[in-house]
Structure 1
Amino acid sequence: MPGTMNAVVMHAPGGPEVLKLETRPIPQPDTTEVLIKVHAFGLNRSELFTRQGHSPGVRLPRILGIEAVGTVAESPGGQLEPGQVVATVMGGMGRSFDGSYAEYAVVPAAQIRILRTNLPWSTLGALPEMLQTAWGALFRSLRLAPGQMLLIRGGTTSVGLAAIAIASAHGAVVGATSRSAEAESVVKAAGATHFFLDDGAIAEKVRGVWNGGADKVLELVGTTTLADSLQATKEPGIVCMAGMVGHQWSLPQFAPMDVIPTGVSLTTYSGGVADFMAMPLQELVDQVEAGVLPIRLGPVFQLDQISSAHAVMEQTSARGKIVVLT
């Protein structure tokens, strides 16, 4: 498919203004790849970190974007049919090769899921990475079981709200945190039964409410609250760090014997292609479409508004997944 497309290209790290809308040739797939006509993509904090210069392995110029939904434009190897609705995430998208901030993207066929859905692109675009992170963290890393007490630290993030809905439907007792008191109604609408106003030190409160602490903790704020989340967990609980809204990559002077309670496990979830291909994505999309899995959407932008979209993501004011339509 010769021709040109609109694409957002990053030539140097910096603020939202470094994301430049340019005209680029439409990329050509080989027989192991598929050309996707991108209809929508969700924004992710890893893209924010890359834009800020915190991904030294990413060579510039680069088209960012670690997820996309759209339709198959070309599949030279015959793995997919033109016109099929598809979703893809990770696998080097927007990092080792050009990603989804464009009208077309070339992606390995092995990391594409076919979807059957009538959801609008603005909703579907919010789902792939958000659902795969929530699902994978809950069931692969935390091994969540019905009846367990689950604390979601960072409950109003897009992944946090999805995790609340998925975990409560699974039969867990869910508590969620936010630094804003107004967020209580938001997390409870998603399925949480407990709300903890987060001042950075809520471990004692959680232990008091839940008879010694949470069974499982999904840490989405990151290293800034991780030590407190560990103290909020009772043996033999698990804390999974899967997000970094707190703008801090590492723990300064990390002393494991001081920070990790006896018998409590600390793990992470980063979610690669294998996790995405194995998760029940169609089932979750069906639940969203049926209205039984409530997903909170943030603002929707057009491709030429990408700088504004990044500015909103950086302010952490969206209260839902930000989606960009192409």
Structure 2
Amino acid sequence: MRAAVCVRAGGPDVLEIRELPVPAVRPGWSLVQVKGAGLNRSELRTRQGHSPNVRFPRVLGIECVGVVVASTDPALPDGTTVATVMGEMGREFDGGYAEYALLPNSLLMPVATTLPWPILAALPETYLTARGALDALGVGRENRLLIRGGTSSVGMAAASIARGQGIETAATTRRPAKIDALKAAGVDHVILDEGGSLAAKVHEVWPEGPDRVLDLVGTSTARDSLRLVRRGGTVCMAGTLSGWLIPDFEPVAMIPSGTRLTAFHSDDMKGGTAVLERVVREVEAGIYRPNVDRVFGLDEVVAAHRYMENNEATGKVVVIP
């Protein structure tokens, strides 16, 4: 089989297309023919050498969709369409950047759908993360939601879900060329983030501030998000676009009294078949609008990583083996 192998830590060029043996099944694991894999920022960071539990060479990819071709689980017979996310996929064992992947049965989520493979491949990690983060925020129709990092794949998915629920939403972007894409995704107020505090621009929209902030930029904006949200509101950290650690974190100084800080990690959604089924049904019904920015072939994985690293995408990037 063909696979994109990360041979060592480094830039996009450390991803090499190689011929590897098709993995042999073993108890508790089944073989999946990969039909599509969504690309994620965490894979970029793993490729750069920031995931301490990863040994190279490694086939990256924390998610994929495909068809079971050699099952060890009667509940997942051959021919079943499945999706899978996280569970150390693409880190402790080979992931979705390949024509076939040997995956733990516990991670495989069966889904019945006629959605095209690129669309289905754009859903698992992105929409499960967006859905889980919005649930962690406790956001409802009565709330005003600010999405920071709005043109990330999760940001676009969150905007799509919020629109489907009738939630008033604002979203940030640093690129004027991406404003129209956010409006098309259903964002009510697009805020151009030109550096520094967003307070003045946000308060033009909502004088008291948003009730909920979904921060997908991450550690560099955490303090600012906690100041932006209205007193008693909630901030959810669910992205790592700017890294994983908040330097000199001082909760008493950083978190205003009564304001809540929470987080969501997509690993909490691994095996979340019911949630994924709900997302797929909503996409099929046209309630959610999946935002596939660009589809690459497996041979183009270096270009795909470069595209992602340069922040050119507005929405999800997908690789089709």
Q: Give the Å deviation of 1:111.
A: 1.4
* Aligned residue among 277, 281, 288 for 2:283: 288
Q: Which runs of 5+ in 2 are unaligned?
A: none
Compare 48-57 and 113-122 and name the one that shifted more. 113-122
Q: Could you list the per-position Cα deviations for residues 98-147 of structure 1 after superposition, in whole angstroms to 9, with x for gaps in the alignment?
A: 111111111111111111111111111111100111000001x2111221
Deviation per residue, 1:232-260 (Å, 9 max, x gap): 111221111111223x3322333323322
Tell me, yes or no, if the aligned pair for 1:39 and 1:69 is still in contact at 8 Å. Answer: yes
The answer to whether the Cα contact below 8 Å between 1:136 and 1:275 also exists between their aligned partners in 2 is no
Point out 4+ residue stretches in structure 1 off by more than 6 angstroms.
Answer: none
* Superposition TM-score, scaled by structure 2 size: 0.95
Name 1:135's counterpart in structure 2.
131
The 1-side partners of 2:268 and 2:259 are apart by 28
Q: Deviations over 1:138-197 (max 9, x none)?
A: 01x211122101000011111101101101212321111111233332212111111211
Of 161, 164, 171, 1:166 maps to 161
Alpha-carbon RMSD across the aligned residues, in angstroms, is: 1.5
- Secondary structure of the structure 2 residue equivalent to 1:280: helix
CA contact (8 A) 1:137 1:218 kept: yes
Q: Does 1:193 align with 2:188?
A: yes
Match of 1:34 in 2: 30
Alpha-carbon shift at residue 84 of structure 1 (Å): 1.2
**Aligned pairs, how many?**
320
- Runs (5+) with no aligned partner, structure 1: none
Tell me whether 1:90 sits opposite 2:89 in the alignment: no
Contact 1:136–1:279 (8 Å) recurs in 2: no
* Cα pair 1:6 1:21 within 8 Å, conserved: yes
1:73-116 per-residue CA deviation (whole Å, 9 max, x = no partner) reads 11123231111111000011001111111111111111111111
Residue of 210, 218, 224 corresponding to 1:228: 224
Secondary structure of 2:114's aligned partner: coil
Q: Give the Å deviation of 1:208.
A: 4.4
Task: Give the AA of the match of 1:281.
Answer: L
2:245 is aligned with 1:250: yes
Report the 3-state secondary structure (helix = DSSP H, G, I; strand = E; otherwise coil) of the residue aligned with 2:266.
coil
2:54 matches 1:58: yes
What secondary structure sits across from 2:307 in the alignment? helix
Instruction: Show the counterpart of 2:95.
Output: 99
Q: CA deviation at 1:267?
A: 1.4
2:66 aligned partner? 70
CA distance 1:77–1:252, change in 2 (3 Å): closer
Q: How does the TM-score come out when normalised to structure 1?
A: 0.94
Q: Is the 8 A contact 1:135 1:279 kept in 2?
A: no
For the pair 1:314 / 2:309, whether they are aligned, the reply is yes
> Whole-Å Cα distance in 2 between the matches of residues 86 and 125 of structure 1?
10
Q: Which region of structure 1 is more displaced relative to structure 2, 160-169 or 200-209?
A: 200-209
